[in-house]
A and B are shown apart, each in its own frame.
Chain A
Amino acid sequence: GPLSERRLMDVRLGELPTWLATRDISPQGLLGGVQKAWSSYHDKYINVRRGGPAGISMLLAGYCLLSYGWNYQHISKISFLLSL
Chain B
Amino acid sequence: ILHSRPLHTTQQCLAPLPPLPEKGGEVRHGLIPEEFFQFLYPKTGVTGPYMLGTGLLLYLLSKEIYVVNHETVAGACILSIIIYGIKKYGADVAAFADRLNEEKIAKVAAVKNEAIKDLETAIEEEKKEQWRVEGRSYLFDAKRNNIAMLLEANYRERLLMVYNEVKKRLDYQVAMQNLKRQKEQDHMIQWVEKNVVQSITPQQQKESIAKCILDLKALSKSAQAAV
Contacts and interface: CB of A to CB of B under 8 A. Distances in A.
Interface in A30-84: 44-55, 57-58, 61, 68, 72, 75-76, 80-81, 84
B22 interface: yes
Interface stretch (B25-33, B126-134, B174-182, B185-193): B25-33
Interface stretch (B46-54, B64-72, B108-116): B64-72
B106 to A, nearest CB: 15
B67 A49 contact: no
Chain B interface, DSSP helix/strand/loop, else mixed: loop
Interface residues of B, number: 22
B67 to A, nearest CB: 5
A58 B24 contact: no
B13 interface: no
A80 B68 CA distance: 12
Given A53-B90, A57-B31, A58-B27, A75 B20 contact: no
B101 interface: yes
Contact of B20 (A49, A52, A57, A80): A49
23 contacts: A45-B24, A48-B20, A48-B23, A49-B101, A50-B24, A50-B94, A51-B23, A52-B27, A52-B30, A52-B90, A52-B94, A53-B86, A53-B90, A54-B27, A55-B24, A57-B27, A58-B27, A58-B33, A68-B66, A72-B65, A75-B69, A81-B67, A81-B69
